[in-house]
A and B are shown apart, each in its own frame.
Chain A
Amino acid sequence: MLLQEVAAAGAHPLSGTVATWMWLLPLLPLAGFVLNGALALAATYRRGPSDPTVHADHTHGAGHDTGHAGTAHPDHDTAHHAPTRHRYAGLVSIIGPAVLFAAFGLALSIFGAMTRVDHLEQPFVQRYFTWMATGDLRIDAAFQLDQLSMIMVLVITGVGALIHLFSIGYMRDDPGYPRFFAYLNLFVFFMLVLVLGASYPVMFIGWEGVGLCSYLLIGFWFSDTANADAGKKAFIVNRIGDFGFLIAMFLLYAHIASLDFVGISQRAADLAPGIVTAICLFLFLGCAGKSAQIPLYVWLPDAMAGPTPVSALIHAATMVTAGVYLVARSAVLFALSPVASLTVAVVGALTALLAATIGLKQWDIKRVLAYSTVSQLGYMFVGVGVGAYTAGIFHLVTHAFFKALLFLGSGSVIFAMHRAYHATHSHADAQDMRNMGGLRRYLPWTFALMWIATLAIAGIPLFSGFFSKDEILAGVFARAGHSTLADVSWFGIPGNVLLYAIYGIGLFTALLTAIYMTRMMLYTFHGPNRTGETERSHLAEAPWVMTLPLVVLGVLSAIGGWLNIPELMRFLGPPQWLHHWLDPVVGAPALAVTGGAPVHLTHQTEYMLIGAAVVIAVAGILFAVARLKPARLVPKAQAVPERGFARVLANKWYVDELYDRSVVRPLVGGSRRLLWTVTDKWLIDGLLVNGSARLTGFFGRIGSYWQTGNVSTYAWAIVIGVLVVLGAFTLR
């Protein structure tokens, strides 16, 4: 049954080509996980005694994998201690990245095959076996390859391979080295299953799988309570999102009895508007959980407790963008419900704004980048929310490049800082910008490449960020004038007013982005060095294995924009390549949103929009350069705590504390006091169960008390008995 189905899909143009090997894409990282995992366990597992109870008290079980470096820094990733490399480090550092590069190579060849086929209308679906089939539910384990999933596969395997390369250097002396690569490979496997899944349940496997891997990787150094807590928080918040995803699936199944994308796109039209909106809103709840949007974004900043490559791969490039991919994949549904799309756009915009404001006042370099990621994700959701799916995906791709670069850059900075502090045994925070400053003299490569990324993210022309962010803003502006979204009203606010407001917020956030990115660059690389006299000599550029991926990413974030050059700038190269590439997948729904005809802006308005964006970007950078005086900064130890509005921002608008007091504490306290103690112990157990036992016991004691032992009592009992019996006769 397995193989005939694969062969049957003969009709598709891609069926003969290398695309038929697409199941190998996820299988390679899975193999990597199994191998690395085996190596990790083989190194640390020592078989216990046959009779553990007798053996319990007097043997010494010393596991190798001490899980954490010697110096007990609470929440910073101090990568290494005495440079003892893990026994299998060499083998693992070959398997890990090799598996990824192989997958990337396969992806490229499949991409090549896809481009050779001229117009690919139908997605290439391979069914392997029936996963679940009961009643009229039938879910197959099937993969679907189309233009959208191809782009995602390329990003995942490409950026993933680079990050694996980077991790070889970054995690070199960590005792959990094979375990790290095992989890990283497992993550890539689940991410590929997510993007290649042909139906929502198969996608859900990937969806929760990546949640699991982010849990394992955030809490990688689990001997610190903070890291373990961050991991748990991430998983549970993701799980809340998954709850939404599940409900959406149930709604879909209840109303159109099919869960695979092909089936849904055919039958989506006959769904009632209310149902479609409900489905889309629940789907978006899932996205909010996974891609850290309001209100479920709180886990991403804490996720920085994981090693930096993890932050780069999972919490910047791939996993967090799964939400955007989900909305793009369900474009058919979102196009049918303008209200839901508007909600996505509004939440995206608000998240972007909120995260940007918090980003202004963060001192930990990774937290700045984390909030910047949340903010950029907000942008992508604005893009896919308003129906500009291509723009959203485009920003996703470019963001993957420059955000990965920024994170890896900050990784090499932290690596250098930690090496310096380690040399002088100081316990200063290797991630706090106040301890850095003037690093451009010591880390020239990282300095230059991070400036490229900063310019890209700020939206300076010709860099990738400019093209993708501008496309989103232009998309919003265009749809404000003429689209189904504009006509509908969202909680009383008419659509077009809302869209213009979103455009305004988008611009202002772009300004904030430019400011806090420049602020980060200034405090880290410019001005006097604050690391400390003795440590300064130890600051040096990271080894080439870490800097090479930076260079590649630098190039990509510079020329990333080339992917989808706007009409206006035809002179730069083939215009709208990504737009035409994604047209078969998201073209129809995009048109549906803009009322049948593709929206187009007059040249004047386009120039005006581009002009505004450029002005904003440049103004932001100049404002930061003018206002911020890196020279006046002092190392973290002597830093004075902020006051007023700055403190509110530094404490993340106290959102974590709000959640804790309003949800977590009442839930835990309530269930301990109210549910367990009161209902379980007193009410059911105490009152009913033991109560009835004590009652019968009490009556028993009364009975035995009346058994006085003297004959006359007994005689009286008999006489009373006689009277009762005779009495019973008379009154019948």
Chain B
Amino acid sequence: MRFDLARPLDLAIALAPDLLLMAGTMILLLASAWGAESPQRQRAVGRWSIILCVLTVGAVIYMWWAGHTATRGVIAVDPFRWATDVLILLGAILALALSMDYLEREGIDVAEAHVLILFATAGMMLLAAARDLMIVFLGIELMSIAVYVLAGLNRRSGRAAEAALKYFLLGAFSTGFLLYGIALVFGATGSTNIADIGAAVLARGLATNPMLLAGVGLLIVGLSFKVAAAPFHMWTPDVYEGAPTPMTAFMAAAVKAAAFAVFLRIWMEAFPYLNGAWHKPLWYLAVFTMVVGNVVALAQKNIKRMLAYSSIAHAGYLLVAVVVSNFEGASAYLFYIFAYTLATMGAFAVVIALSQVGEGGHQIDDYAGLWRVRPGLSIAMAVFMLALLGFPIFGGAGFFAKWYVLQAALRPPSQTNLAIWVVLTSVVSAGYYLYVVMVMFMKPRPAEAPAPGRVPGMTRFVIATCAIILLAVGVWPRPVLRVARQSLPQLVHLSEDLPRAPAPQR
């Protein structure tokens, strides 16, 4: 059925899954704050959070199945939103599972960690639904603030505190730019609704309006920071290394998914008619991100910093999908994020399984000869590395992800040179991904190296599911592919009523 978003009841129903999640989170917040801190409480809250997420996924899938649409309004009701929601919730569930074990092992009995993850997820779902710059700002802030705290969760370690501080200061700084961008766009077009902006740009031919262009530029800056695109990426390695590993995984996967969802939606709806004015900067941004991400990753000796740069590189590949900014780009984004989330979550899960208490043992060379001691873990890690590299069959869905992005890039108007950049940087990425595999499989196990402890239940579950799903989709990608192709953002067809934007009074 078709929601008329002007009526609050319809709006509430349209936001049902988000409201369900937020309500659940409130309850859990009270529950975790009620009693004394203890590992059992922490695990209980964790379990309940996962159940809540699963319920939300159920709600999302119901809304998706019902096929609701909505008039032009503050939020969007289209399959693209539901698909992004599912991906975000998938990331959240995996992060929650990992953090339950991790917090117990590290002795941080902070049940609120799970609640914060849920808050961040709520923020992201809001972003996915946002069709108004105001909602975008709200979503970003809700997500970011929760994640700032998550980064600094481990009160005992100075590194976590430093990571949180850096993320906070630079996050706030970039939000400033984002906000200023929104203001300028508001100033130029008179509205914060993406569809109205698009219509206004077309109606009043604002393509060359300096104020609008400046606003768009600042919007790109704000979102690029969140996505960790190249010149704005410098916070990522430090924050990823400092933050507790499950939180890093959450940041790498879910945050990126949400941020790119907004990126895509704005660019496909608001600014398609700027006759490519924004095309050039995004193009350079994508190439620069890919190159910096991959090349600097080569020099990394710490696995978490390496994975940080790898996530920057993948942000570059996703930017290619944005640059293409057509339906192919959107479905390529969805498929890519699906594969990327599984691979990154899996990789960080393995890192958790192999690291000692107190964030030790993160040097790649500590993994020397691991295959001889822990064959299962090393094979899983190899699968994740090859997935991130984009290798067929052994890398599973990773290959089809990169293939889909390349294919989107080569569609007319084809960006052949961009495709070449993707391919060449992939070769460079083989350098560090395979280094991990080589260290694990081909180097002899040093005698004095401590045998890694038993892998806790949930982490083992996460690693297994990620690897198996990846490999399965790698062989038979059709189901995920069909979903990705159909869930496209429902763009406002210009035939609908034009905006009632008030003419600017002098």
Q: Looking at the complex, which one of B237, B281, B428 makes contact with A707 (CB distance below 8 Å)?
A: B237
Least CB separation from B297: chain A residue? A700
Please determine whether A714 and B295 come into contact, CB atoms closer than 8 angstroms.
no
* A715-B173 in contact given A725-B220, A728-B284, A732-B277 (Cβ < 8 Å): yes
0/1 string, B155-184, CB within 8 A of A gives 1 = 000000000011001100110010000000
Q: Looking at the complex, which one of B214, B280, B298 makes contact with A732 (CB distance below 8 Å)?
A: B280
Please determine whether A700 and B170 come into contact, CB atoms closer than 8 angstroms.
no
Q: Which residues of A contact B109 (CB under 8 A)?
A: none
The A-contacting residues of B in range 197-232, CB under 8 angstroms, are: 213-214, 216-218, 220-221, 224-225, 230-232
Please determine whether A722 and B234 come into contact, CB atoms closer than 8 angstroms.
no
A/B interface sample: 27 pairs, CB < 8 A? A693-B431, A696-B298, A697-B299, A699-B296, A700-B297, A700-B299, A714-B170, A715-B170, A717-B232, A717-B234, A718-B170, A718-B174, A718-B177, A718-B232, A720-B231, A722-B217, A722-B218, A722-B221, A725-B281, A725-B285, A726-B218, A728-B281, A728-B284, A729-B213, A729-B214, A729-B281, A730-B213
Please determine whether A696 and B218 come into contact, CB atoms closer than 8 angstroms.
no
* B403 adjacent to chain A (CB < 8 Å): no
* B421 adjacent to chain A (CB < 8 Å): no
Q: Looking at the complex, which one of A707, A721, A726, A730 makes contact with B232 (CB distance below 8 Å)?
A: A721
* A651 adjacent to chain B (CB < 8 Å): no
* B3 adjacent to chain A (CB < 8 Å): no
Q: Looking at the complex, which one of A707, A718, A724, A729 makes contact with B173 (CB distance below 8 Å)?
A: A718
Least CB separation from B218: chain A residue? A722
User: What separation, in Å, do the CA atoms of A715 and B297 have in the docked complex?
Assistant: 21
Q: Which residues of A contact B235 (CB under 8 A)?
A: 714
Q: Which residues of B contact A697 (CB under 8 A)?
A: 298-299
* B355 adjacent to chain A (CB < 8 Å): no
Least CB separation from B292: chain A residue? A703
User: What separation, in Å, do the CA atoms of A722 and B224 have in the docked complex?
Assistant: 10
User: What separation, in Å, do the CA atoms of A730 and B170 have in the docked complex?
Assistant: 26
The B-contacting residues of A in range 680-732, CB under 8 angstroms, are: 693, 696-697, 699-701, 703-704, 707, 709, 711, 713-715, 717-718, 720-722, 724-726, 728-730, 732
* A726-B173 in contact given A700-B299, A717-B232, A718-B221 (Cβ < 8 Å): no
Please determine whether A707 and B177 come into contact, CB atoms closer than 8 angstroms.
no
Q: Looking at the complex, which one of B165, B214, B230, B296 makes contact with A726 (CB distance below 8 Å)?
A: B214
| Shortest distance between the CB of A513 and any CB in chain B (Å) | 71
Least CB separation from A709: chain B residue? B238
Please determine whether B296 and A717 come into contact, CB atoms closer than 8 angstroms.
no
Please determine whether B166 and A714 come into contact, CB atoms closer than 8 angstroms.
yes
Q: Which residues of B contact A707 (CB under 8 A)?
A: 234, 237-238, 296
The A-contacting residues of B in range 124-169, CB under 8 angstroms, are: 165-166, 169
Least CB separation from B300: chain A residue? A704
Q: Which residues of B contact A709 (CB under 8 A)?
A: 238
Please determine whether B232 and A696 come into contact, CB atoms closer than 8 angstroms.
no
Q: Which residues of A contact B165 (CB under 8 A)?
A: 711
User: What separation, in Å, do the CA atoms of A243 and B464 have in the docked complex?
Assistant: 63
Please determine whether A721 and B224 come into contact, CB atoms closer than 8 angstroms.
yes
Least CB separation from B234: chain A residue? A714
Q: Which residues of A contact B177 (CB under 8 A)?
A: 718, 722
| Shortest distance between the CB of A697 and any CB in chain B (Å) | 6
Please determine whether B225 and A728 come into contact, CB atoms closer than 8 angstroms.
no
Q: A696-B431, A699-B296, A707-B234 are in contact. List 19 more A-B contacts (CB 8 A).
A: A696-B295, A700-B298, A700-B299, A703-B292, A704-B296, A704-B299, A707-B238, A717-B231, A717-B234, A718-B174, A718-B231, A721-B232, A722-B177, A724-B231, A725-B220, A728-B281, A729-B213, A729-B281, A730-B213
The B-contacting residues of A in range 271-293, CB under 8 angstroms, are: none
* A696-B428 in contact given A718-B232, A725-B281 (Cβ < 8 Å): yes
User: What separation, in Å, do the CA atoms of A709 and B235 have in the docked complex?
Assistant: 8
Q: Which residues of B contact A720 (CB under 8 A)?
A: 231
Q: Which residues of A contact B169 (CB under 8 A)?
A: 711, 715
- Report which A residues bind B (CB closer than 8 A): 693, 696-697, 699-701, 703-704, 707, 709, 711, 713-715, 717-718, 720-722, 724-726, 728-730, 732
| Shortest distance between the CB of A577 and any CB in chain B (Å) | 79
Q: Which residues of A contact B220 (CB under 8 A)?
A: 725
| Shortest distance between the CB of B468 and any CB in chain A (Å) | 33
User: What separation, in Å, do the CA atoms of A715 and B170 have in the docked complex?
Assistant: 7
Q: Which residues of B contact A714 (CB under 8 A)?
A: 166, 170, 234-235
Least CB separation from B229: chain A residue? A721
Majority secondary structure, B binding face? helix
User: What separation, in Å, do the CA atoms of A693 and B217 have in the docked complex?
Assistant: 36
| Shortest distance between the CB of A716 and any CB in chain B (Å) | 9
0/1 string, B278-300, CB within 8 A of A gives 1 = 10110011000000100111111
User: What separation, in Å, do the CA atoms of A138 and B497 have in the docked complex?
Assistant: 81
| Shortest distance between the CB of B184 and any CB in chain A (Å) | 11
Q: Which residues of B contact A696 (CB under 8 A)?
A: 295, 298, 428, 431
- Most chain B beta-carbon neighbours within 10 Å: one of A697, A707, A718, A725: A725
| Shortest distance between the CB of B341 and any CB in chain A (Å) | 26
Please determine whether B225 and A718 come into contact, CB atoms closer than 8 angstroms.
yes
- Most chain A beta-carbon neighbours within 10 Å: one of B218, B225, B235, B296: B296
Least CB separation from B283: chain A residue? A728
| Shortest distance between the CB of B154 and any CB in chain A (Å) | 19
| Shortest distance between the CB of B242 and any CB in chain A (Å) | 10
0/1 string, B303-332, CB within 8 A of A gives 1 = 000000000000000000000000000000
Least CB separation from B278: chain A residue? A729
Least CB separation from B237: chain A residue? A707
Q: Which residues of A contact B225 (CB under 8 A)?
A: 718
User: What separation, in Å, do the CA atoms of A732 and B274 have in the docked complex?
Assistant: 12
Please determine whether A729 and B217 come into contact, CB atoms closer than 8 angstroms.
yes
* A725-B280 in contact given A697-B298, A699-B295, A714-B166 (Cβ < 8 Å): no
User: What separation, in Å, do the CA atoms of A704 and B220 have in the docked complex?
Assistant: 25
* A725-B295 in contact given A696-B431, A711-B166, A732-B280 (Cβ < 8 Å): no
* A721-B231 in contact given A697-B299, A709-B238, A729-B277 (Cβ < 8 Å): yes
User: What separation, in Å, do the CA atoms of A707 and B241 have in the docked complex?
Assistant: 13
User: What separation, in Å, do the CA atoms of A523 and B169 have in the docked complex?
Assistant: 109
User: What separation, in Å, do the CA atoms of A364 and B261 have in the docked complex?
Assistant: 94
Please determine whether B299 and A703 come into contact, CB atoms closer than 8 angstroms.
yes
The A-contacting residues of B in range 367-396, CB under 8 angstroms, are: none
User: What separation, in Å, do the CA atoms of A192 and B174 have in the docked complex?
Assistant: 92
| Shortest distance between the CB of B230 and any CB in chain A (Å) | 8
Please determine whether A728 and B280 come into contact, CB atoms closer than 8 angstroms.
yes
| Shortest distance between the CB of A715 and any CB in chain B (Å) | 6
The A-contacting residues of B in range 215-265, CB under 8 angstroms, are: 216-218, 220-221, 224-225, 230-232, 234-235, 237-238
Q: Which residues of A contact B277 (CB under 8 A)?
A: 729, 732
User: What separation, in Å, do the CA atoms of A714 and B225 have in the docked complex?
Assistant: 11
User: What separation, in Å, do the CA atoms of A696 and B424 have in the docked complex?
Assistant: 12
Q: Which residues of B contact A700 (CB under 8 A)?
A: 295-300
Sort A-B residue pairs by CB-CB distance and give the 5 closest, nearest first. A721-B231, A703-B296, A700-B299, A700-B298, A728-B281
Q: Which residues of B contact A717 (CB under 8 A)?
A: 231-232, 234
Least CB separation from B214: chain A residue? A726
| Shortest distance between the CB of B308 and any CB in chain A (Å) | 10
| Shortest distance between the CB of A688 and any CB in chain B (Å) | 14
- Most chain B beta-carbon neighbours within 10 Å: one of A715, A730, A732: A732
User: What separation, in Å, do the CA atoms of A730 and B213 have in the docked complex?
Assistant: 8
* A725-B298 in contact given A714-B235, A715-B170 (Cβ < 8 Å): no
| Shortest distance between the CB of A702 and any CB in chain B (Å) | 8
| Shortest distance between the CB of B329 and any CB in chain A (Å) | 20
Q: Which residues of B contact A721 (CB under 8 A)?
A: 221, 224, 230-232
Least CB separation from B276: chain A residue? A732
Least CB separation from A712: chain B residue? B169
- Most chain A beta-carbon neighbours within 10 Å: one of B218, B221, B297: B221
Q: Which residues of A contact B166 (CB under 8 A)?
A: 711, 714
User: What separation, in Å, do the CA atoms of A728 and B173 have in the docked complex?
Assistant: 22
Least CB separation from B235: chain A residue? A714
| Shortest distance between the CB of A81 and any CB in chain B (Å) | 52
